[in-house]
Structure 1
Amino acid sequence: MPESMSYYLKSLLFLIFIALTSETLQAQTTVPITITNQGHVMVKAKINGVEGNFVFDTGAGLTLVTKKFAAKIKGLNKQDGGYTAFRATGEKLDADLYDATSLTIGSFTETHPVLTIFDVDFGPIDGLISLMSFKKQVVTLDYANKQLIFETPKSFDALKTNGKTVALQLEISRDKSLDMFAYFNINDKLNLQFSIDSGSGNNVYRINSKYMPVLGIDSTDTVNVKVTTKPSDFNPAVLTKIYTTNLQSIALKDLPSAKLENQKASFVEGLIYDGIVSLSWIGRKITIDVNHAQLIINE
């Protein structure tokens, strides 16, 4: 074979290799998820190579593992400082922080994640994975096909073209904790900023009890309002009073088609937010773009 022809073939093969490699790197990757009866999104993940069962939790703030699971992991290094967090009910939690080497979900890997460890019993759940892992990675929750999808720039552009955009407000605390919020219209009277919490499960609509009077809800109405108290998962001595009744309507301000009517809701005393809602009812395919503070809804 002439030298020029050999050089040409080698160059052609190299270009084909680069094209195929580029296509592979730009392809979407997916991992299966499990939706529990309570509506929690469960995903397999590895921390420092140790696999566990985790809740994909947009309301967790920071990533958490149970003490039992942490005992299996090597290479967790405790930071000198800590972090004081507040649960949505106002309960104070003092968290020690640990540096891990990696957090891996399918082909996605976050290097040097920071997490906390708590001595809690979540049954078969080993911990919670927060939005902190996805500050730079666009991710889609596909409830219909039970997949967590790691988007590429190309696939994300297609989603934006076909989907509906919802503006998010992000709460980032000391670059350690991250939560997402959006505005919701309640009973066509109030526009309130709610935490969107995939970790809360199905049909969760919690509102600060201070809004009950303006919504015309009487806390002493024993016929239409049920009063209960709930102990904390972290400290059973901490009790929260909850008023359960029906709302006329709740709708996502940027996406009025995401609306529920005559919906049971809980009004919670001491809630530090306007409210909290679960994620799945907003759409069957929800893309979270933390970097640009937006959701893309493909219904």
Structure 2
Amino acid sequence: MLVPKFKMISTQSVMKKTIFRTVILLISLLYSLKINAQIPFEINSNGHIIIKAKINDVEGKFILDTGSGLNAIFKRFSNKITNEKTHNFFVGHRATGEELNVDLYNAKSLEINNKNFNNQQYTIVDLEFGDIDGMISLQPFRNTPVTIDYIHKTILFDKPVKNEKSIDIQIADYAGKAIDIFTYVELNDNLKIQTLLDSGAGKNSFWFSSKLMEPLALNKADFKTVPIKSDFNKENNYYIGQLSKIHTANKLRRIENLDAAFVDGLIYEGKTSIDWLGKVLTIDIAKKKIFIAE
């Protein structure tokens, strides 16, 4: 029996459309998997998390720095890209009190593992830090939960959270130009303070204001006094010694007999690294939580 010609054309057309849709679906799926794939990172000798990212289509190595407030690139890297200066600027302070008055630049693109983060700005800092090109702050992740897996040294975006324990965080949002995260901790089981959570501090970093030594009944004579100059030539005294205990407000994480520094002029009650909170951390700014898988 002969099949009418119009039916043959119709069948072929349907097959072509089906194949085309399947190919598009596969491409979309593969692209989605690539975007959400685990992103490897390095940890340098200081405990900094080093990731690769592209700013204005140029790839560099950046510290993932939850305490930097805003994205920053170093002068050497800025010479590799086209910088779109704005009339915006930001005035803030480093942890040890130095004022920063920096110009802001619009990023044409900021890309991490093929995921593009729109409407980003950065500043340019005249510093040299080995082969590091700058710092990626929490700015790109305002609406994107970011998971830091210290076990496998990977980062994942939008990881589903299932029955994970968590701690509350407080968000310091400086008019959309910079963002920091804090949480409450307790020192020596009797002094509740708020501490900046700063992955840029490296590993096992515990700084506290020297104002807290008196309420903690700590004698400066029992600590080693070390005057330290910052990259901006401001000198602060650091009183270095041991603190008996620190734990999160909900007592989920606790450390005893930790090395700590009490710092003159520290603008925060405390500033700590984030590695002590757990081995797999999901920072969710929208929910004001850090979820802890391990």
What TM-score, normalized to structure 2? 0.90
CA distance in 1, matches of 2:292, 2:245: 20
Residue 172 of structure 1 is matched in structure 2 by 173
Residue 274 of structure 2 is matched in structure 1 by 279
CA distance in 2, matches of 1:72, 1:169: 36
1:161 partner SS: coil
Query: What one-letter code is carried by the residue in structure 2 that aligns with 1:126?
Result: D
Counterpart selection for 2:239 from 243, 249, 257: 243
**Per-residue displacement from partner, 1:240-264 (whole Å, max 9, x unpaired)?**
111112111011123x242110111
CA distance in 2, matches of 1:48, 1:21: 25
The alignment status of 1:43 with 2:51, answered yes or no, reads yes
Query: What one-letter code is carried by the residue in structure 2 that aligns with 1:100?
Result: A
The 5-angstrom pairing of residues 116-127 of structure 1 reads 116-127=123-134
The alignment status of 1:109 with 2:116, answered yes or no, reads yes
Counterpart selection for 2:40 from 32, 48, 53: 32
Residue 71 of structure 1 is matched in structure 2 by 79
Supply the RMSD in Å over aligned alpha carbons. 2.0
Counterpart selection for 2:284 from 280, 289, 293: 289
Residue 65 of structure 2 is matched in structure 1 by 57
1:29 partner SS: coil
Structure 2 segments unaligned to the other structure (5+ residues): none
The 5-angstrom pairing of residues 130-279 of structure 1 reads 130-151=137-158, 156-157=159-160, 160-219=161-220, 221=221, 224-233=222-231, 235-236=232-233, 238-254=234-250, 256-279=251-274
- Paired-residue identity, %: 36
2:139 partner SS: helix
**Per-residue displacement from partner, 1:76-116 (whole Å, max 9, x unpaired)?**
11112311111111110110111120111112111231000
CA distance in 1, matches of 2:167, 2:22: 40
CA distance in 2, matches of 1:26, 1:165: 28
CA distance in 2, matches of 1:293, 1:109: 23
What TM-score, normalized to structure 1? 0.89
**Per-residue displacement from partner, 1:176-201 (whole Å, max 9, x unpaired)?**
00000111111001111100000000
> Structure 1 residues 113 and 214, CA, compared in 2 at 3 Å: closer, same or farther?
same
CA distance in 1, matches of 2:119, 2:127: 24
CA distance in 2, matches of 1:167, 1:21: 39
CA distance in 1, matches of 2:77, 2:15: 54
The alignment status of 1:128 with 2:123, answered yes or no, reads no
Q: What is the number of equivalent residue pairs in this alignment?
A: 286
Is the contact between residue 165 and residue 296 of structure 1 (CA under 8 Å) also seen in structure 2?
yes
